[in-house]
A and B are shown apart, each in its own frame.
Chain A
Amino acid sequence: MINKSDSSTTLFIVSGAIIILLIILHVFKILSPIENVFIRIFSPIQKYIYLSGNRFSGSIKFFTSIKDLRKENKELNEKVNKLTFENSKLIRLEKENKDLLSQLGLLKKEEFNLVAANVIGQDPNNLIQFINIDKGSSDGIKNNQPVIIANNFLIGRVSEVQSHSAKVILITDARSKVNAQIQGADANGIVKGEHNLGLMMEMIPQDKIIQRGDKVVTSGVGGDMPVGLFIGEVEEVKTTDNELFQTARIKTQADFKSLKIIFVILE
């Protein structure tokens, strides 16, 4: 079956030497211009392939989810009714709040300086949950800046920046840790990724009463993340009497598999 073995050792050594040489050139940034040119040339192709895949998977999802649509529609209608009531209440409260703030001479400062970017690629291996985006340092993007989607849903943070592209580690990645707060219970904790399978909130004090459906937002503790970015809702609470803290499984509202446009918070 195998007929070429004489030169395989030489080929192995030469290949290893080439890779090590490339790594050394990369360490001394000699390869950077070539890498940047390559990434810039292939970015549009990458974007096209990514969006095609996105549309294709969307179509498959649509056909496979038809049977669940009726049930989901009913649930959504109930939720809309509930939210409409809450919304009218919030509008009144917001107006009152604005009036009070203006009377105190304070201005609300919650609008972020955002940069919109297209997702052009995702995780090429199993180890890290990340996305590639088509904006980089030339657009003001820096390491560790939070990344959100519409309605202030937190999805991750910038982990590596090049001139015209950047890598974003998602909050579902096992290394991701975000200081968070459960709004209903006013309890702080840390939200960790569960390797693309979900989110867990840990270090929640035992004395806090948490309920399914409670909203989880960033707490801003540590100063690396703004306060109030939406992470998800409590799906399940795990508590035992002999432990200091309780944990909660968080259901995220963001669909990490079909991200198209994201926003990087610059300041």
Chain B
Amino acid sequence: MRIAISIISLILLAFLQISFLPNFIILGSIPNLILIVAIAWCIAGNFKEAIFWGIAGGIILDLFSPFYFGIISLTNLAVISLVYFIAKNIINSDDRISVAAICAIATLLYNFFLIFFILIAKLVKLDDLIQPFNFSFLLTIFVQMIFNTIIISLIYNYVKSIQEVENYYEQRRQIKA
């Protein structure tokens, strides 16, 4: 049941990101819902769930993306792993400011890794979609950073409460065993 809910939510959010949000582009940018949920799981301490959201969501986005297949999934994997490391070793707190800061860093890392993997795809002649690095591009990253930070502030407590319920049942199972 838990897995089914995760899969349905994932597909729904992925299609919201591909088909609904593009109607609300502001300054060339929309929020990255899949990344936001994956980062929220990461901060809540559930790396497995974060990886599931990042990779399964990334594969759906890859199918509808103009980039070479796999670039968004690889980007998500790299970002989630780094964010997990940051949340565990550097910003070891989940108050509002820490969550917002981690999400802002994650958005920057996402765009950095996306360009990095596009460049690799170009080197191995898989893709030639190189983004000119100009002011308007930096502006879209900044706007996306704001969007993502606002949305994660709204959903993080919900994700955290699910994680706490899961932790409680996990502890009970261990005590019984």
Contacts and interface: CB of A to CB of B under 8 A. Distances in A.
Nearest to B74: A19
Interface in B1-40: 15-25, 27-30, 32
Interface majority SS (helix, strand, loop, mixed), chain B: helix
Given A1-B87, A159-B66, A53 B28 contact: no
A57 B24 CA distance: 7
A164 interface: no
Interface of B: 15-25, 27-30, 32, 43-48, 51, 55, 58-59, 61, 63-70, 72-74, 77, 81, 84, 87-88, 92-94, 111, 114-115, 118, 126, 129-132, 134, 136-137, 139-141, 144, 167
Given A53-B21, A125-B114, A23 B70 contact: yes
A230 interface: no
A191 to B, nearest CB: 15
A196 B25 contact: yes
B69 A23 contact: yes
Interface string A4-29: 11011001100110111011001100
Interface stretch (A73-81, A104-112, A167-175, A246-254): A167-175
19 contacts: A1-B94, A2-B87, A4-B46, A5-B47, A8-B84, A15-B77, A16-B74, A19-B55, A19-B74, A26-B69, A57-B23, A124-B30, A127-B118, A128-B66, A128-B129, A174-B132, A195-B137, A196-B140, A257-B22
A12 B77 contact: yes
A140 to B, nearest CB: 21
B26 to A, nearest CB: 10
Nearest to A46: B19
Nearest to A5: B88
Nearest to B135: A195
Interface in A171-212: 174-175, 194-197
A122 B24 contact: no
A11 B23 CA distance: 36
Contact-size category for A: 35 or more
Contacts of A16: 74, 77
A195 B140 CA distance: 9
B62 to A, nearest CB: 9
Contact of A257 (B15, B25, B48, B137): B25
Nearest to B52: A15
A55 to B, nearest CB: 9
Contacts, number: 168
A193 B114 CA distance: 20
A100 to B, nearest CB: 46
Contact of A258 (B21, B23, B84): B23
A4 B48 contact: yes
Nearest to A31: B69
B20 A50 contact: yes
Interface stretch (A35-43, A62-70, A143-151, A220-228): A35-43
B25 A160 contact: no
Contact of A194 (B94, B115, B136): B136
A124 B18 contact: yes
Contact of A2 (B45, B48, B126, B130): B45
A263 interface: no
Contacts of A101: none
Given A26-B70, A53-B23, A8 B65 contact: no
A18 B15 CA distance: 23
